[in-house]
Amino acid sequence: MKFETPLIPGKLVKRYKRFLTDVELADGTIVTAHCANSGSMLSVNEPGAPVWLSPANDPKRKLKFTWELIKIGDAMVGINTQHPNRIVYEAIEAGKIAELTGYATQRREVKYGKNSRIDVLLESPDKPTCYVEVKNTTMRRDLNPGAPAEFPDSVTARGAKHLEELGDMVEQGHRAVMFYLIQRDDADTFTVAANIDPVYSEGLKIAQNRGVEVVAYSCRVSPLEIEIKGPAEVKL
């Protein structure tokens, strides 16, 4: 996924009220940007860290910028949760995700389950329909080499609901994949943050026992683009 317009560098002042972020630009101006991330953003909200903003295309929009990236140590991290579905969709289309190749068509945001929408639906006449739920993963509390990226960074009842619905799809004869997109370039392993949300952790175990597949991929992240790098080892 390439950014449509050049990103604007700055430094993080603070993130507050979940969806607001103050950023200091190179000329010293402080701007308030939209933060498209409803999680706690634990480990990726360090004041003073370099960040990058995208300018708003809509001149009528109240906030003229959107927070896109942050640099933590040597790692670039994509924090915008509106991008992972597109990143995964493009990677499937390009044949970069081995577990999800060989389908004739793919669609996004298809209604299913209990008033939900599946992120990606893969279909072919010769194989079971595949339901792919994508979760944006940015948290990495331990920056030592080999330490995993973790999900979730806060309690997510919605995420637990999705796990249950994926299990329902398997029991109806379909295929279901829980896909964790590690939107940072310093983690090649993934695990669940059970101490943050034990209910979600237990829900994932139950989903796996019901036949839901767990897949994680890491990304290359830069101010020009975010793209799939390769599979990450899942350690649950």
Return mean pLDDT, the chain. Answer: 96
Q: What is the pLDDT at residue 114?
A: 81
Q: How confident is the model at residue 57 (pLDDT cuts 50, 70, 90)?
A: confident
Question: Which residues are within 8 A (CB) of 67 and not within 5 positions of it... i.e. 6 or more apart?
Answer: 15, 21, 23, 33, 34, 35, 36, 37, 51, 52, 53, 79, 80
Q: What is the pTM of this model?
A: 0.95
- The domains found in the chain, sorted by start residue, are 8-78 (2.40.50.580), 84-234 (3.40.1350.60)
Structure tokens at 70: 């942050």
Determine the Cα–Cα distance for residues 139 and 156; give it in Å rounded to an integer: 14
Query: Hey, what are 118's tokens?
Result: 């599946």
Residue 60: pLDDT band (50, 70, 90) is confident
Q: How confident is the model at residue 121 (pLDDT cuts 50, 70, 90)?
A: very high
Name the percent of the chain lying above pLDDT 70: 100
Q: Mean pLDDT throughout 207-220?
A: 98
Model pLDDT for residues 139-162, shown as the tens digit of each residue: 999 999 999 999 999 999 999 999
Tally of CB atoms within 10 A around 36: 16
What pLDDT was estimated at residue 34? 96
pLDDT at residue number 4: 92
Q: What pLDDT is stored for residue 201 in this prediction?
A: 98
Mean pLDDT of 194-216: 98
Q: What's residue 122's pLDDT?
A: 98
For residue 214, give Cα distances in angstroms to 21, 30, 46, 141.
33, 41, 30, 21
Contact, 220 vs 185, CB < 8 A?
A: yes
Confidence (pLDDT) at 107: 96
Task: State mean pLDDT over 169-177.
Answer: 97
| Residue 182 in this model has a pLDDT that exceeds 80 | yes
- Flag whether pLDDT at 59 surpasses 80: no
**Whether 223 contacts 180, CB under 8 Å:** no
155 CB neighbour count, 10 Å cutoff: 15
